[in-house]
Amino acid sequence: VEPVYFHVDLDAFFASVEQTDNPDLRGKPVIIGAAPGHRGVVAACSYEARTFGVHSAMPISEAYRRCPQGVYLPVRMNRYHELSTKVMSLFGDFTPKVQQISVDEASLDMTGTERLLGPPETSARAIKERVRTETGLTISVGVAPNRYLAKLASEYKKPDGLYRVLEGAETAFLDTLELSDLWGLGKKTRARLQELGITSVRKLRSESLQDLRSKVGQGSGSYLYTIVRGRDPGIYSEERKTHSISNEHTFEHDTADSDKIRRTMLSLSHEVMFRMIDEEIRPKTVFIKVRFSDFRTTTVQRTLSRPPAAAEELFSYALELLNGRWRGEPLRLLGVGVSATSDTQRSDGYQGELFDDAPGTIGDKPHPSTEKRRRLEETVFKMKRHGNQLTKASLLDRDKKSEGAAE
DNA sequence: ATGGAGTGTCGGG
DNA sequence: TTACGCCCGACACTCCAT
């Protein structure tokens, strides 16, 4: 049986939810994110807003300049999560092989469903219709012989799109795209390729694996070589555990107030420790992140002999790291994090003790506030949506196998 | 050679 | 006077130890 994958993407998700929840907003430029006048960016915006040149990740101040008549709304992650769960469960009626990629995306293995559901175009239309009638939301569906191409296909006809890349038409499809349409090929790599005289997918495909690897690096070289041939680089491979947890904060105004900085550091540390315990991971490396007024950003890390056992302990290590790097200049951002580099951080029966017998454990603290729980849920969810992403290492291994002859 | 640690870069949701 | 969040994983590069 020929493999068939669907990539499903909810259109302008956050903004669409706001518009279906409040019909007054339909047809209007809706911008979700920080409030105008504050530091922050656009998390999502409606297609109406996009006609003003607004797009996600744009500084909110810039968005406001371009679209002062827009309706600016805060992120209501709980509500989006709710609808996301509903939509994801609908996909389960079409195939058991649903991989949620993020809050608004899923990759479906539809191989072998034809006998039951009809050809891919038919089942794709059925899914779109089902989501629309049950939630009022529109989705874009990409159909292809592998997950990577399905992802690109879902972008191809947005919004409310449906596009299929047939077997045998992979490279022809890719040749209709710009380099910037390729997932995993960002601005910097594009600039590097431009320097090398590579400005199209076709040209990129004409480069040898060896050249690509030497010019853009081993990992990226193999990756690019794979994707321009319409092969799956494995961006949605199965496994994936959390390796790091971090919490950072941009001050409303840059500050050199050491008391304020200490207090911020402490609350960031508490949040990180809370999530460490909640997710049952035991990372041994502590790091801090500092951003200065001029946007220069630096991280400092230190590996411990055992995981920090309490927020206060994490806080004291973080403070030490800060002292090594901060000379009293105003700070724009402060972050605290933990990561597990080498040895596994998998939860097992043994881990409880390390927390239990540590001094000042979180165990004798009161229950986290409702607000804190809510934020935790949001954060955990946001992190989980990254849980199915590409491991470039595994890609490299795959490549060494499949391209061994070329090496 | 190999691998850990530390720092920074890149790409993405 | 003026922008630029928050969080994640992978990787390059360097220094260092084995």
| B9 C1': nearest CA residue | A188
Q: What is the C-alpha to C-alpha distance for residues A49 and A265, in angstroms, rounded to an integer?
A: 37
| C13 C1': nearest CA residue | A217
Residues lying close to strand C (Cβ under 7 A), chosen from 77-116 of chain A, are none
Decide the pairing of beta strands A139-144 and A162-164. Answer: parallel
- From the alpha carbon of A188, which nucleotide's C1' atom is closest? B10
pLDDT at A241: 66
Assign A379 a pLDDT band (cuts: 50, 70, 90).
very low
Q: Are A104 and A13 in contact (CB under 8 A)?
A: yes
pLDDT digits (tens, 9 = 90+) for A1-40: 899 999 999 999 999 999 999 999 999 999 999 999 999 9
φ, ψ dihedrals at A401, nearest 5°: -75, -55
Rounded to whole angstroms, the distance from the CA of residue A155 to the C1' of nucleotide C7 is 24
DSSP string across A37-52: TSS-BEEEE-HHHHTT
Rounded to whole angstroms, the distance from the CA of residue A300 to the C1' of nucleotide C17 is 21
Residues of A labelled catalytic: 105
Residues lying close to strand C (Cβ under 7 A), chosen from 302-361 of chain A, are 332-333, 335, 337, 339
Rounded to whole angstroms, the distance from the CA of residue A346 to the C1' of nucleotide B10 is 27
Assign A341 a pLDDT band (cuts: 50, 70, 90).
low
Rounded to whole angstroms, the distance from the CA of residue A218 to the C1' of nucleotide C10 is 12
Going by C-alpha positions, the residue among A5, A7, A241 that lies closest to residue A105 is A7
Q: Is the CB of A59 under 7 A from strand C?
A: yes
Q: What is the C-alpha to C-alpha distance for residues A192 and A221, in angstroms, rounded to an integer?
A: 12
CB-contacts to strand B (7 A): A 57, 101-105, 182-190, 285, 287, 297-303, 341-342, 382, 385-386
Rounded to whole angstroms, the distance from the CA of residue A285 to the C1' of nucleotide C18 is 22
Look at residue A284 and tell me whether its pLDDT is greater than 60: yes
Look at residue A367 and tell me whether its pLDDT is greater than 60: no
Look at residue A395 and tell me whether its pLDDT is greater than 70: no
- From the alpha carbon of A216, which nucleotide's C1' atom is closest? C12
Assign A371 a pLDDT band (cuts: 50, 70, 90).
very low
Which residue did the predictor score with more confidence, A347 or A307? A307
- From the alpha carbon of A41, which nucleotide's C1' atom is closest? C5
Give the angle subtended at the CA of A97 by the CAs of A163 and A106, to the nearest 5°.
50
Look at residue A354 and tell me whether its pLDDT is greater than 60: no
Residues lying close to strand C (Cβ under 7 A), chosen from 363-392 of chain A, are 379, 382-383, 386, 389-392
- From the alpha carbon of A380, which nucleotide's C1' atom is closest? C7
Rounded to whole angstroms, the distance from the CA of residue A236 to the C1' of nucleotide B11 is 15
For chain C, which bases have at least one atom within 7 A of a protein Cβ?
A: 3-13
Rounded to whole angstroms, the distance from the CA of residue A268 to the C1' of nucleotide B7 is 22
- From the alpha carbon of A185, which nucleotide's C1' atom is closest? B11
Side chain identity, residue A169: A
Sorted by sequence, the CB contacts under 8 Å of residue A274 that are 6+ apart come out as A311, A362, A368, A372, A376
How many CA atoms are closer than 13 Å to the CA of A344, on its beta-carbon side?
A: 7
User: What is residue A394's three-state secondary structure?
Assistant: helix
Tokens 């050809």 locate to A119
Q: What is the C-alpha to C-alpha distance for residues A107 and A391, in angstroms, rounded to an integer?
A: 17
Q: Is the CB of A252 under 7 A from strand C?
A: no
Q: Are A391 and A234 in contact (CB under 8 A)?
A: yes
pLDDT at A175: 96
- Overall average pLDDT of the A142-167 stretch: 95
